[in-house]
Structure 1
């Protein structure tokens, strides 16, 4: 995972990010790979760090970024 050690979020924002991550992971087909969860989490952290606070938008952006990753 990328370094997010300088990130700081209020409990309310953490709850929003958690909900967005859980919803994004739940929308993926089984089996869900840990690398996909990591990618989604990084996207949500980055996007929330940029100021986004809407859970649906955080989820949508994370899923779109996941689709853009080249497949091996």
Structure 2
């Protein structure tokens, strides 16, 4: 996971990020790889750090970024 040491979030934002990650992981088919979860979490952290606070938007952006992520 990328370094987000300089990021600080209020409790409400952390709740929104947790909800977004939970819904995003639930939207993916099983089995879910840890790499996918890490990509979703990084996207949510990055998007929240840029100022987004709506959990639905955080979820949607994370899922879209996962779709366009390079496959290895």
Shorter-chain TM range is: over 0.9
Moved over 6 A (4+): none
In structure 2, the residue matched to 1:29 is 29
Extract unaligned runs of 5+ from structure 2: none
Tell me the distance in 1 between the aligned counterparts of 2:13 and 2:70: 30
In structure 2, the residue matched to 1:17 is 17
In structure 2, the residue matched to 1:48 is 48
Tell me the distance in 2 between the aligned counterparts of 1:62 and 1:35: 13
TM-score, structure 1 length as denominator?
A: 0.98
| RMSD, aligned CA | 0.5
Tell me the distance in 1 between the aligned counterparts of 2:67 and 2:56: 17
TM-score, structure 2 length as denominator?
A: 0.98
> Cα distance, 1:70 vs. partner?
1.6
In structure 2, the residue matched to 1:39 is 39
How many residue pairs match? The answer is 72
Extract unaligned runs of 5+ from structure 1: none
1:59 matches 2:59: yes
